[in-house]
Amino acid sequence: MAYFSLMRPLLGLFLSWTAMLGCSQSSDVLTSNLNACLIVTEAEVELAIGTPVTPGLRQNDRQCLYQAKRNPQETVTVELNPGPDGDKKSLFRDQRSKAGHQPVPGVGDGAFTLRSPIGGIQLTFLKADALVTLSLSSSKEPNAQAAVTNLAKVAATRLGGPLHTASAASPEPGLPAASAQWAGDWYGCPPVGLMYAKGHLALSDGGTWSLTTAVLMPGTVTADRGRWQAESYQEILHGTYRLAGNDRFSTTGILSVTWDKLAKNQGPNKFDPLLWRSFTTAPHKVAVKRLPPVEPSLVGTWEGSAKFIDRQEEFVWTITAANVSEFYKATSQSGRIEKEPNQLRLTIPQSKTPPLTIRVLANDKLELTDNSGTVSQWNRNEKLLSRC
């Protein structure tokens, strides 16, 4: 996150000495179940900042990130450093008294806040043998001090008892005990034929799922006198077409689709918007040899759909007079989640399609096996899509 990188200089003083903290065995904070995402819950973060957030994204054992769903740049970061000894507590108190560090009464065994010039605020507090820093980035939060203080009070209270839950003591291998560890949005690059697709998987703790995979097939196109052919290194599509005015045409053959023209600079109406943005962030260049002309009425960007028993397909097709074809295809599936001892099964109702399976490896990593047996890795960071 841009904000978090700007906050690092402010946190540098803490990190320089908290990296040296020891590991006492006297507190439940220091168990092998240590997880910064257990200090505050998604619901508690939402209540504090007044907006829905994504499930906590476990950066590592010591750090957890929550992002506002409406604005991912608005974040809450929880950083946990266990085990400060007496000298470190003294240093903490010294820092609390420095200029710019505002003491906060009533939180843990001592707390102070430090503001960022770009609108963020961080609160650091001690509780028993743990040091916790809560960082809030929000230029729109009307009372950031109160928000981060209220959240810190909740965290300090929770640190007074065991951090691990009863169910966390004996989860089945590969399947987290709490749905918060697998529910939410995931991103991956699943293989599709000879290429990799961009994937967006949404898992609901209510027991439903949806998966969209999208590919781009750049290449050439010829279209004249009612017949068309689009050729890319992945596939050759062909058939017939029929015009229906200036803003619509239909194709038959491999693609039985009705196409509606998109206005200039208009995005598609049904294509997964996140996947669409990931395609359009990088230019695509196609070298075209001299080919027969393209029907002028077909030049432009078009969108269409096709519905099947087990899936929905959305298409965007850009055709130029210079025979360039950019064919985007997004395939969406949805259904119910079934829990098994060491995995999740994603079933599609009223379909003979074999279920997909999921094995959760960590809070921010899972494996998806499709019905052909192909395994792909997924995480919670949408920036992964730029590498597909």
Q: Would 21 be classed as within a structural domain? A: yes
Give the range among 124-138, 141-155, 161-175 with minimum mean pLDDT.
Answer: 161-175
* Highest mean pLDDT out of 165-179, 181-195, 263-277: 263-277
Q: Would 347 be classed as within a structural domain? A: yes
Domain that holds residue 192: 181-211+333-387
Q: Would 169 be classed as within a structural domain? A: no
Confidence check: pLDDT of 168 > 70: no
Q: Are residues 78 and 131 in the same domain?
A: yes
| pLDDT tens figures, 175-229 | 444 566 788 999 999 988 777 899 999 998 888 999 999 999 999 999 999 999 9
Task: Identify the bridge partners of residue 359 per DSSP, sorted by sequence position.
Answer: 367
Q: Would 173 be classed as within a structural domain? A: no
Asked whether 268 and 314 are in contact (CB, 8 A), the reply is yes
| Comparison of pLDDT for 142 and 320, the residue scoring more | 320
Strands of 101-207 (E only): list them.
101-103, 111-115, 121-127, 130-137, 184-188, 191-192, 195-196, 198-203
Q: Would 205 be classed as within a structural domain? A: yes
CA distance linking residue 263 with residue 225, whole number of Å: 25
| pLDDT tens figures, 253-262 | 888 999 999 9
| Comparison of pLDDT for 313 and 174, the residue scoring more | 313
CA distance linking residue 294 with residue 300, whole number of Å: 11
Under the banding of pLDDT at 50, 70 and 90, the label for residue 99 is: low
Number of domains making up the chain: 3
Confidence check: pLDDT of 268 > 60: yes
- Considering the chain, what percentage of its residues have pLDDT values greater than 90? 31
Does pTM top 0.85 for this prediction?
Answer: no
| Comparison of pLDDT for 310 and 302, the residue scoring more | 302
Q: Are residues 318 and 197 in the same domain?
A: no
Q: Are residues 118 and 222 in the same domain?
A: no
Q: Would 317 be classed as within a structural domain? A: yes
pLDDT of residue 335: 92
Q: Are residues 143 and 13 in the same domain?
A: yes
Check which CATH number belongs to the domain holding 144 and give it. 3.40.1000
Confidence check: pLDDT of 321 > 70: yes
Work out the average pLDDT over 47-59: 81
* Highest mean pLDDT out of 144-148, 282-286, 330-334: 330-334
* Highest mean pLDDT out of 34-38, 82-86, 91-95, 384-388: 384-388
Asked whether 127 and 84 are in contact (CB, 8 A), the reply is no
Give the range among 106-115, 168-177, 210-219, 289-298 with minimum mean pLDDT.
Answer: 168-177
Under the banding of pLDDT at 50, 70 and 90, the label for residue 164 is: very low
| Comparison of pLDDT for 167 and 215, the residue scoring more | 215
Q: Are residues 114 and 239 in the same domain?
A: no
Q: Would 342 be classed as within a structural domain? A: yes
Average pLDDT score over the chain: 79
Other Cβ atoms less than 10 A from the Cβ of 72: the count is 12
Confidence check: pLDDT of 3 > 90: no
pLDDT of residue 286: 65
| Comparison of pLDDT for 27 and 378, the residue scoring more | 378
Check which CATH number belongs to the domain holding 357 and give it. 2.40.128
CA distance linking residue 194 with residue 189, whole number of Å: 12
Work out the average pLDDT over 306-327: 92
Confidence check: pLDDT of 278 > 60: yes
pLDDT of residue 118: 56
CA distance linking residue 298 with residue 135, whole number of Å: 52
Q: What is the DSSP string of 256-267?
A: -EEEEEPPTTPP
| Three-state secondary structure call for residue 192 | strand
| pLDDT tens figures, 230-245 | 998 778 899 999 999 8
pLDDT of residue 27: 37
Q: Would 110 be classed as within a structural domain? A: yes
Q: Are residues 122 and 197 in the same domain?
A: no
The two tokens of residue 193 are: 């034929």
Q: Are residues 253 and 237 in the same domain?
A: yes
Work out the average pLDDT over 312-327: 94
Could you report how far apart the first and last alpha carbons of the chain are, in Å? 21
CA distance linking residue 213 with residue 201, whole number of Å: 9
Q: What is the dihedral of CA 252, 257, 258, 264, to 10 degrees?
A: -120
Q: Are residues 229 and 322 in the same domain?
A: yes
Q: Are residues 136 and 16 in the same domain?
A: yes
Under the banding of pLDDT at 50, 70 and 90, the label for residue 24 is: very low
pLDDT of residue 11: 36
Q: Are residues 337 and 321 in the same domain?
A: no
pLDDT of residue 131: 81
Q: Are residues 242 and 324 in the same domain?
A: yes
Q: Are residues 186 and 294 in the same domain?
A: no
